Amino acid sequence: MRIATWNVNSITARLPRLLAWLESSGTDVVCLQETKCTLEQFPAEALREAGYESAVNATGRWNGVALLSRVGLADVVTGLPEGPEYEGVREPRAVAATCGPVRVWSVYVPNGREVAHDHYAYKLRWLEALRKAVAADAAGTLPFAVLGDYNIAPTDEDVWDPSLFEGATHVTPAERDALAALRAEGLSDVVPRPLKYDRPYTYWDYRQLGFPKNRGMRIDLVYGNAPFAEAVEDSYVDREERKGKGASDHAPVVVDLGL
């Protein structure tokens, strides 16, 4: 079984690449983030023709997550239970489902913007709500994983130049402590370093030749419980999908399971 997570940075803009990638990669379950569309605009029919059912949490031009599966979708949860609001709005940042032999969450963790910003405090509250929401599944016997754009680099090795991020979000002790608290529920990072290259970044800014110069960050993560981790046979970042015209600023992260 092949499962992946990919921040597509607009499913409308990325649909041709997504459909081509689904066909070439043979992926069974895909967690998408930043769909940036309404529920009505989501291309469910095109994906259905490609063989994938969709579970979607999307409300407009910002945020949005989805799950695509060609092995079934059951017990769908749309939104983070008891998740916090930001400026009176509960943003579409989480969706969960059981897909064949695994249960997964697709999550798009708030960015945080700046440490002194209200959005940073919201990010920490959101991560705590995520921890509580996944605790039961993480402790269960069914293979389970939380995949997505966490907007946190777990260690300094996951940032191309840590000195440039001093005092900024994505690398603060509080954010990394929130990741540690999530892992403490029985989850582990199943995409270890190094992979097939020294620094398996998953995101590169469009500006200043970020990708050609490999000035990236590893912020798209796959955290699985013990049954999920034990089934992992391979994992990789599909850097090829970050290349060329019309690419997202994130690359897909792929995990192969012996299920």
- Listing DSSP states for 137-159 in one string gives HHTSSS-EEEEEE-S--SSGGGB
Q: Is 241 helix (H, G, I), strand (E, B) or coil?
A: helix
The per-residue pLDDT for 200 is 82
C-alpha–C-alpha distance, residues 126 and 129, integer Å: 5
CATH of region 2-257:
3.60.10.10
The per-residue pLDDT for 202 is 97
Helix count (H) and strand count (E) of the chain?
5, 14
**Per-position pLDDT tens, the chain of length 259:** 999 999 999 999 999 999 999 999 999 999 999 999 999 999 999 999 999 999 999 998 899 999 999 999 999 999 999 999 999 999 999 999 999 999 999 999 999 999 999 999 999 999 999 999 999 999 999 999 999 999 999 999 999 999 999 999 999 999 999 999 999 999 999 997 655 556 689 999 999 899 999 999 999 999 999 999 999 999 999 999 999 999 999 999 999 999 9
Residue 160 contacts residue 214 (beta carbons within 8 Å): yes
The per-residue pLDDT for 6 is 98
Neighbour count for residue 199 (Cβ, 10 Å): 16
Q: What is the pTM (predicted TM-score) of this model?
A: 0.96
Residue 95 contacts residue 106 (beta carbons within 8 Å): yes
Strands 65-69 and 216-217, sheet pairing: unpaired
Q: Can you give the residue ranges of every domain in the chain?
A: 2-257
Residue 241 contacts residue 252 (beta carbons within 8 Å): yes
Structure tokens at 178: 């929130």
The per-residue pLDDT for 61 is 86
